[in-house]
Copies of this chain bind each other. A is one copy, B any other.
Amino acid sequence: MSASYHYTFNIGFKETSVSIEQDVPSIETVKTAAVLRGTGSSAKPAALVVCDTNTASLAKAVIGKTDTPLCVLETGEKAKTLGSVTTIILAARNAGLGRDGLIVAVGGGVLTDTAGFAASCYMRGCALAFVSTTLLGMADAAIGGKTGVDFDGVKNLAGAFYPAQAVFMPLVALRTVPSREIKSGFAEVLKTAILGGYEHEDLFDGALPGVGDIDGVDGYEAFAPLLARTVEYKGRLVEEDPEERSGKRALLNLGHTFGHALESAAGLGALTHGEAVAWGIARACELGVRLGVTPEPRAQRIAALLERFGYETRNPHPAITDVVRYQEAMQADKKKRSGRLVFVVPTGESAVCVDADEKQAE
């Protein structure tokens, strides 16, 4: 059996089509999908494929025998810079892309964030497609239009809301993702399930490949329905609040306030993003119970789920070597939100934003 899933979301002005399929798409397929969702022109646009050193072979599979130019960036967060954006813009210009040209980013979240930002500003915005190649990218960065680069030590200080017209999620790409990275992405899958209130459904049973124990593409095929559910839920949330104004989209930060502080206190790179987020979800449950927002049985169910997939949930986290730094990181987050700490905590069926200072004063 080989199932595939297709969605179309209306994000702001633009339509985003999402395809979860077995194989990487050809450049012709990508162009067709991006142009159909774009200006309505029927001509195939000039394209530039952007990848990093990890995804170059997948990018070459997309390009096939065509002469589509390829721009290869360094791998990892250190390449998420304005310098990489400059490299992509110059490559697009050398490839002769006009405003109707297409940038195709083949990679994980760091790569799609960077190339997406470049596309948002190339000639004030050219067409954009993603071939997402990691579970974290598929479950999070590929959908919703948040693009950006780090700047002077601040994550995503410069960026744009610029959704891709077409997003492809080839399951075959997950074969080469290290199991610890799969576990990182899987935390976002769990987070979305908690927001959607379906974390108790049998989607998580049987068919699911064990995190950290995946050795073939068949496992990923069985996993596809759960990824599809994740994409569907996130896409709908983003449709309702494309630029994170109404508070709806902010629910996606479940586990992230605690998680970012943990990442900072453990030292950059010591934990994966997902490991930190999973731990943060456990903290959000505790806070929610204390504030009377999260029902005890749900908090227990969520904790059991996190533990079942091997995430560390103990408080304090064994990796926190610097408690002061953890507290400082929490305070830094506070500054971003007009001096108040806002947390997302689970409710009975979903989650809600709470102003912890206010709630505790009640």
Contacts and interface: CB of A to CB of B under 8 A. Distances in A.
Interface of A: 12-13, 39, 43, 82, 86, 89-90, 93, 96, 98, 100, 117, 120-125, 146-148, 151-152, 154, 156-161, 243, 245, 335-338
A95 to B, nearest CB: 13
A148 B124 contact: yes
A245 to B, nearest CB: 6
Contacts of A86: 82, 151
6 closest A-B pairs by CB: A121-B158, A124-B159, A124-B161, A121-B160, A124-B160, A89-B158
Does more than half of chain A's interface fall in helix, strand or loop, or is it mixed? Answer: mixed
The complex is assembled from copies of this chain, and their number is 2
A41 to B, nearest CB: 9
A307 B336 CA distance: 57
A93 B90 CA distance: 27
Contacts of A154: 93
Contacts of A243: 124-125
Contact of A13 (B12, B89, B121, B151): B12
Given A98-B336, A98-B338, A336-B98, A124 B156 contact: yes
A117 to B, nearest CB: 7
A338 B124 contact: no
Given A82-B86, A100-B338, A124-B147, 20 more contacts: A12-B13, A13-B13, A86-B151, A93-B152, A96-B335, A98-B336, A98-B337, A120-B160, A121-B121, A121-B148, A121-B158, A122-B157, A123-B156, A123-B157, A123-B159, A124-B146, A124-B148, A124-B161, A124-B243, A160-B160
Contact of A151 (B89, B148, B335): B89
5 contacts: A89-B157, A90-B151, A93-B154, A124-B156, A125-B160
Nearest to A98: B336
B152 A90 contact: yes
Nearest to A39: B245
Contacts of A123: 156-157, 159
Contacts of A336: 98
Nearest to A45: B338
A279 B345 CA distance: 64
Contacts of A82: 82, 86
A155 to B, nearest CB: 11
Nearest to A161: B124
A100 B337 CA distance: 9
B122 A158 contact: yes
A37 to B, nearest CB: 14
A161 B125 contact: yes
Highest count of chain B CB atoms <10 Å: which of A43, A123, A124: A124
Nearest to A46: B338
Contacts of A156: 123-124
Nearest to A120: B160
Contacts of A160: 120-121, 124-125, 160
A125 B120 CA distance: 12
A202 to B, nearest CB: 38
A159 B159 CA distance: 12
Contacts of A39: 245
